[in-house]
Chains A and B, each alone.
Chain A
């Protein structure tokens, strides 16, 4: 069964910063506290709903999603398990670019 993780509701209305040291709503905290546990728990697809927010910084997105590759996932695993829901196609495209172009693994 799939699960939808709505960033604006379950994380913050104002995601900002890369590392935890940059503030309470950083990409690192989002990845470690929400994204990774949800990815591990879900049996079907994890749909990350990125809509209804006043914008993301690339540094937040890179740390949250590119960081998945640096930690424990492969791009293939994420293509199988993760779905990005964003009205703005450039936003989804940017997220996938951090996953696909991260060469740490």
Chain B
């Protein structure tokens, strides 16, 4: 059988290249999503710890600072993901999940003098964390 350049070489190579690029971007997107979910989980963990740490302890200040940094990082990751990957569809209204999650940790009396320990926050934080993670996975089309 005669060798046909288009059928035997160019077309399979072209298809492989397209699939390769798609897989590369999918891999990068999924890895960014994993990092984002790690930030969310970490912020939730630190939030629970913050609300069970007395205000007087130095650790509380450190946790508050780490929580705010993670909060900003989550926002940046979401914006980057939405801007970079067409296949990541975190709808505008889903940003309210981010707000609700942040508020579950940093709303009053976060960083307020005289703050008391509030272990009941853990339930709300966990609920908001789960909702946000679900929103991210939905945007990633995993569920």
Interface on A for B, CB 8 Å cutoff? 14, 16-19, 21-23, 53-60, 62, 87-91, 93-94, 97
Contact = CB atoms under 8 A, between A and B. Distances in A.
A55 B67 contact: yes
Contact of B107 (A21, A62, A87, A93): A62
A89 B92 contact: yes
A55 B65 CA distance: 8
Contacts of B106: 56-59
A97 B103 CA distance: 12
Nearest to A18: B112
A59 B110 contact: yes
Contact of B99 (A18, A22, A93): A93
B111 A57 contact: yes
B108 A90 contact: no
Contacts of A23: 111
A55 B70 contact: yes
A12 to B, nearest CB: 12
B96 to A, nearest CB: 7
B68 A54 contact: yes
A91 B78 CA distance: 12
Contacts, number: 82
B98 interface: yes
B72 interface: yes
Contacts of A18: 108-109, 111-112
Interface of B: 64-65, 67-73, 75-76, 78-79, 92, 95-96, 98-99, 102-103, 106-113
A8 B30 CA distance: 32
Contacts of B64: 16, 57
A58 B70 contact: no
Contacts of A97: 99
A93 B109 CA distance: 20
Given A55-B68, A58-B102, A90-B78, 18 more contacts: A16-B111, A18-B111, A22-B113, A54-B65, A54-B72, A55-B69, A55-B71, A55-B73, A56-B68, A57-B110, A57-B111, A59-B111, A87-B76, A87-B79, A88-B76, A88-B78, A90-B98, A94-B102
A55 to B, nearest CB: 3
Nearest to B98: A90
A89 B79 contact: yes
